[in-house]
Amino acid sequence: MISVSNLRILILDDEKLVREELSEFLIDPNFQVFKAGTPSEAFQIMDRNEVHIAVVDVNLPEMSGLDVLEKIKKEYPEIEVIMISGYSEMDSVIHSMRLGASDFFTKPFRLRDVEHAIERTKKFVNLNKSLQEVKRNYSIISKEFYEAMGYEIVGESRHMKNLINLIGKVAKTENTSVLITGESGTGKELVARAIHYLSNRKENCFYAVNCSAIPETLFESEFFGHTKGAFTGASDTKTGWFEAANKGTLFLDEIGDMQLNLQTKFLRVLEDRKIRKVGSNIEIPFDTRIIAATNQNLEDLSTEKGFRLDLYHRISSFVIHLEPLRKRKEDIPLLIDYFVKYFNRIMGKNINEIDETVIRKLLDYEFPGNVRELKNMVERAVIICDTNKLSLSHFQLTNNKESSEYYHFPTEETLDLEMVERNCIIKALEKANNNKSKAADLLNITWQSLDRRIKKHKI
């Protein structure tokens, strides 16, 4: 016997023996089973009671099981449906899955088949509950955070709750350097902004700088500033990033891509807390909080002489790691719901329903581009949707098998990270016809980072 806590199941089958056998199997003090022999009786039960899962036979009096399924999905969209069929009715089963059925089992059935079907369907029930909860209490972020940021970090996973707790704690400190790690698209800049806007520095500037996009020749000028006439083309005095962010926060994205000789200059400035403009000997003190981010393992990079270990220790007083979306899939329905509402406001639309097939398909997707990829998917879907309901046809999904070529987690027998990285780069270059920019996009890294790794692996 299985235990399905707080679950309410309706069994709709015109065969009394089937109803009795299933209900006896599902007897448990923690949930309730309803039985119906006809669709009209079943709909009366659904009208009067909260039902989580309906187990529906394909062949019924009054109307077919497929018609019952369609009506349930239209009038009771929160109810998950499991279909019962005979071996000769597989076409009906396939059709039912397209209509939104969660699962099925065949007659004659084994009780183990029933158990597996209900266990698989439970997760969709829990997701529906989560969506309802998020609609009632839309964010687990404090009102203070929402008012400061103007938007929310959405999620109910253990990782997200822990993340929000860490943001709140480190925001209360004034000068602690923070290093945010995680794959591209996980929201590292959003976390950095959250730390800034919850801190006492929120009234001052937040500057975001992409370290991989600044040429070596302009590094000192961009970060430290320059005086008029300091070099050819310096027609005016310029304020650098450190000085501009004084009393505020300087966010250094992709710091792992900073060239080694520039890291030395950067470290000295962080230690002295003073800068000199290019063309000047005057030292200018600054009071700027440093938050850095990377999609690389800087400790590993430091052992390969690609990143200074002393700089790593300087910027990593407090480390926050962001999990990829594929490792916190319970947040996906909440993110979809949030992004739909967000783009509704921007585009003046009124999409208020999402086909359950969309949720299931996206739960199976690996999201190599993480939250950023999901946001882009939803934006495109909202743009092309002409009704108030999003369906699977509005979404453009990359083939999972194809994307897995780049995002493959090796088995214990092949646990060689260097080889995996090398193979990923080779496959990306082949896919991009040796175009490094396109290959970098496929791998969600910068062109400079890809170029350095190509040299490292001697590809």
- Find the angle CA(367)-CA(372)-CA(376) to the nearest 5 degrees: 95
Mean pLDDT, rounded, of the chain = 82
Q: What is the percentage of the chain residues whose pLDDT exceeds 90?
A: 37
pLDDT tops 50 at residue 147: no
Q: Which of the two residues, 260 and 423, has the higher pLDDT score?
A: 260
Average pLDDT estimate for 237-252: 91
pLDDT tops 50 at residue 163: yes
pLDDT at 181: 96
pLDDT at 416: 54
Query: Among 102-111, 186-195, 199-208, 416-425, which stretch is predicted with the lowest mean pLDDT?
Result: 416-425
**How does pLDDT run across 337-365, given as a tens digit for each residue?**
889 988 998 899 999 899 888 998 899 89
pLDDT at 216: 83
The structural domains of the chain, with segments of one domain joined by +, span 7-128, 169-228+239-322, 326-394, 417-457
**How does pLDDT run across 8-39, given as a tens digit for each residue?**
899 999 999 889 888 888 877 667 899 999 99
**How does pLDDT run across 398-431, given as a tens digit for each residue?**
655 444 444 444 444 444 556 767 777 887 887 7
Nearest Cα residue to 335 out of 174, 152, 106: 152
Q: What letters, b where the CB count within 10 A reaches 16 and e where it falls short, cover 114-131? A: bbebbeebbebbebbebb
C-alpha span between 444 and 183 (Å, rounded) = 8
Phi, psi of 178 (to 5 degrees): -120, 135
DSSP H or E stretch at residue 332: helix 332-347
pLDDT tops 70 at residue 213: yes
Give the residues across from 239 on adjacent strands. 225
C-alpha span between 145 and 151 (Å, rounded) = 9
Average pLDDT estimate for 240-258: 92
**How does pLDDT run across 71-81, given as a tens digit for each residue?**
998 888 888 89
pLDDT at 422: 77
DSSP H or E stretch at residue 436: helix 436-443
Q: Which of the two residues, 232 and 178, has the higher pLDDT score?
A: 178
pLDDT at 54: 93
Identify the CATH assignment for 169-228+239-322 out of 3.40.50.300, 3.60.21.10, 3.40.190.10, 3.20.20.70. Answer: 3.40.50.300
Fold of 417-457: Arc Repressor Mutant, subunit A (1.10.10)
Q: Which of the two residues, 457 and 251, has the higher pLDDT score?
A: 251
**How does pLDDT run across 32-70, given as a tens digit for each residue?**
899 999 999 999 999 888 898 999 999 899 999 999 999
Judge whether 7-128 and 169-228+239-322 match in fold.
yes
Fold of 326-394: Helicase, Ruva Protein; domain 3 (1.10.8)
C-alpha span between 28 and 9 (Å, rounded) = 11
Fold of 7-128: Rossmann fold (3.40.50)
pLDDT tops 70 at residue 446: yes
pLDDT band at 114 (very low <50, low <70, confident <90, very high): confident
pLDDT tops 70 at residue 146: no
Q: Which of the two residues, 446 and 164, has the higher pLDDT score?
A: 164
